[in-house]
Amino acid sequence: MLAPASPARFKANGRAFAHIAAFHPELTALRRDLHAHPELGFEEVYTSARVKEALRLCGVDEVHDGIGKTGVVAVIKGRSQSSGRMIGLRADMDALTMTEHNDFAWKSTKAGMMHGCGHDGHTTMLVGAARYLAETRHFDGTAVLIFQPGEEGFAGAKAMIEDGLFKRFPVQAVFGMHNWPAMRPGMVGVNPGPMMAAADRITIEVTGRGGHGAHAYLTVDPVVVTAHIITAVQSIVSRNVRPIDSAVISLCAMQAGDLGAMSVVPGKATLVGTVRTFNPDVQDLVERRLHELCSAVALGFGASATMKYERIYPATINSEREAAFAAEVAQSLVGEEHVVRDMEPSMGAEDFSFMLQVKPGAYLRIGQGGEGSCFLHNSRYDFNDEILPLGSALHAGLAEQFMPLEAASPAGVAR
């Protein structure tokens, strides 16, 4: 049994936080167990089993598994269902392919895998909310708790939707949250619009004519062509995208030739990179200009180039009304001075975007950082267990205020 958690360095209001704080040590134990046993997208067998076990112990009404391969959904009914309201609360479960360099007792037991993004904490916070909601049922409607696999590049949200998630559980709105090391504990951020960018993959293949490096005049060197493409691509954002819009083009990897063959000009070169945008029109513009520019630059050198553009994750865009509602819920929990209502969007990506394309909702950030904390996807990252009750209470507050027992409608959300 863990020792009682130390007092939080922040204050939170309401019965949900006080109730959940009583089982903070149990949440910490679960979170650390999940951290020690990371699993990649659609391989979350141990994680989903632990979640199902915890949900049954919590006393939820229904547990459904196998949705989107390894996804789990819990259903909790309020004291009344007369409102007909149904809310979705989502947490991601998967880990990353990276080696952990921490040395605490709960570090990863699997080589080359770690919870470097805090999904172990997200899962635990939603379990904590499940326990509170099942024990109190202080709401009028149905809470649907979504434990999603494969967020890290596997589009697990899309897989769950295609597997009938919202047909089986027709929620009126869906909410998710992510820890944010750049914000101190006790802070919550949201934006009534973009929260995360679209993430696209680009693959550029340049074909020239190989030959001997000593007789380069007989070749069409794809390395030279690729170098000019790299430079030319930098002009797209600066000269084609309006300054008031946002876009990032990063060419992150190049492969050409053989490092052991210093005098051989290769016949081909490949570039791989990513494009990040918020606006679909900007996304279309960048894709078109990449095709045009790569082809034209290569042609100028007597080579050819093809560009494959893959749209991986759409932009995560909050619904204005639901974002305002979530901010009100957060304010009731931590106070107005601790809620950022105009959170700066990140150029990172998130597959919760697929859910927001189908249902209105909002994606929030919950502070967990401070001096000396590691950012996400760092080999020394660890989730801050101090905020577990706060995250659970925020999930619970969204459910209770979206589906209040009182006759009045929740602020900012039409019935």
- Which residue positions form the known binding site for Mn(2+)? 117, 119, 152, 178, 377
Starting at the edge strand found earlier in the chain, the sheet holding 268-277 runs: 247-256, 268-277, 198-207, 304-313
Question: Cα 152 vs. chain centroid, distance in angstroms?
Answer: 7
Q: Known binding site: residues?
A: 117, 119, 152, 178, 377
Torsion on CA atoms 402, 405, 409, 412, rounded to nearest 10: -30
User: Residue 86: beta bridge partners?
Assistant: 142
For residue 53, give both structure tokens.
């076990």
Nearest alpha carbon to residue 85 among 169, 172, 168? 172
Q: Per this entry, what is the length of the chain?
A: 415
Neighbours of 1 (CB within 10 A): 6
